[in-house]
Chains A and B, each alone.
Chain A
């Protein structure tokens, strides 16, 4: 549901308590978008060449909250260990055999709790 839909719906429902729907949809839309972007970051990290993993990790740590960063990191590690990473995530052209971010960052998972 986009804002355009909300616009129409809310225009008709002005005068009802459904006014809350504008805010709910705004919230849901951006939250969904950030979730999609997060999933893509995860895929990107899973497929990033070994040579760039350190730089990518640092960049991610700077840009994201500790919680998000650690969550992504954990999921990348899990994905790579569980089923050769790329395959389980359905990534085309992944570097599943390369050394993973998880191994690279071994033992550092709880450092910034």
Chain B
């Protein structure tokens, strides 16, 4: 009608614009509704497969997830069009995943409840194994795409009761939750719990994991998926990290406690690595440890605290006149003796090395080395060098006039020899320390540094 009643083609085109636009909108609305309907159907289809067939459920879920990703990608070129539709699809996909997880984990939880879990007496049934396998099937794509340590779903369910126990002991108003206890209880609890369940996990969960991942080129070589103890640790670590993160702000203003707690953390990390061979799925460099993230935030504070402690101890040593004497018992006859001060400073330097030796970041080790150890050695070197300068001055006819008779007398004869021997013995002792220290620390730091480069 619009066409036939028009006088010219241009007029007809003009008249058609309105209806065509309406038609486009209707078509768009239809597609919109279709898409929403498809989303609903995909959701329903996924639900229908559960809990019996998680692999089957993954098919519609994956389609929905891909649809959400595609829409998000298309949104940019269309200048953010259909924002509600895009967020609806994304939300639906996320929600579906949570639902699917819940259906499957609820099923496993019910099985666990029936078998009185947790008890080392539990004899896992075929139902256990089936549920475990189905949860792993459901998590398959997530595991393949994982770029960081991921908790296995069945292990999350198995660990749930232990996470609750942890919260009960260490997040409630129980005495075990006192900040002054630092990690005394909860680190021990963690290691004790993993140790207690180690055999059970290896005997009962290990074979299920091994058979599930057998032949999977991507996942079979990852300890987190085939070592049940590593998977269990991974499942428990988040609650421990939460505890550590909540404790640090409470103790950061107490230098003694902060220092002690970082030491406990480093010890804990080391025990987990050594006792359970935990590598967080990274066989080349190993687990970075809880300390890694903690030091990202607290390193400067910790360094300041340790520096203060070290400096106070150093001052205590050199301000005590008795420490300047030679300790004739410090070495066998025929060997150079050390002064009390040099012995104590050597101990101090070694103790500082012990503090940072277990830290994994190269630059943190360097900070301890430069800010604390080199500073102390620098000061001690000056302390030893100054009397030699005095000798230079006193034995020089020009500069000697600036010194009184008493000072000159002290630099002569046995007195002077004693003073010189103290310097010599101290410097010799520190030279020996530097040789030992150099071999030890350089190899450690250089090795770690090359790791970080890669």
Interface residues of A (CB under 8 A from B): 2-4, 6-7, 10-11, 14-15, 17, 19-20, 22-24, 26-27, 29-31, 33-34, 36-38, 40-41, 43-45, 47-49, 52, 55-56, 59-60, 62-66, 68, 91-92, 112
Contact = CB atoms under 8 A, between A and B. Distances in A.
B324 to A, nearest CB: 13
Nearest to B326: A63
Contact of A2 (B381, B417, B427): B381
A43 B441 CA distance: 37
B397 interface: yes
Nearest to A36: B388
A10 B366 contact: yes
Interface string B107-129: 00000000000000000000000
**Interface size classification for chain B:** 35 or more
B334 A66 contact: yes
A112 B384 CA distance: 30
A112 B334 contact: yes
A77 B428 CA distance: 24
Interface string B323-336: 00010100001111
Nearest to A112: B334
B427 A59 contact: no
A33 B441 CA distance: 23
A40 B396 CA distance: 13
Nearest to A17: B446
Contact of B431 (A22, A24, A30, A60): A30
Contacts of B413: 48-49, 52, 56
A72 B104 CA distance: 84
Nearest to B435: A27
Contacts of A52: 413-414
Given A41-B417, A59-B418, A22 B424 contact: no
Given A30-B430, A65-B334, A38 B370 contact: no
A44 B421 CA distance: 11
Q: Is the interface of B mostly helix, strand, loop or mixed?
A: helix
B97 interface: no
A6 B431 contact: no
A63 B370 CA distance: 32
A64 B384 CA distance: 17
Q: Which of A6, A47, A65 has the most CB of B within 10 A?
A: A65
A43 B388 CA distance: 12
Contact of A37 (B334, B370, B397, B424): B424
A34 B424 contact: yes
23 contacts: A2-B378, A14-B363, A19-B446, A20-B446, A22-B369, A22-B370, A23-B434, A26-B374, A26-B377, A26-B437, A26-B438, A30-B427, A34-B431, A37-B427, A47-B412, A48-B413, A56-B417, A59-B414, A59-B418, A63-B337, A63-B425, A64-B421, A64-B425
Contact of A92 (B334, B397, B427, B445): B397
A51 to B, nearest CB: 9
Interface in B375-406: 375, 377-378, 381, 384-385, 388, 391, 395-397
A14 B435 contact: no
Contact of A41 (B326, B328, B421): B421
Interface in B251-275: none
A7 B371 CA distance: 8
Contacts of A24: 438
A33 B423 contact: yes
B420 interface: yes
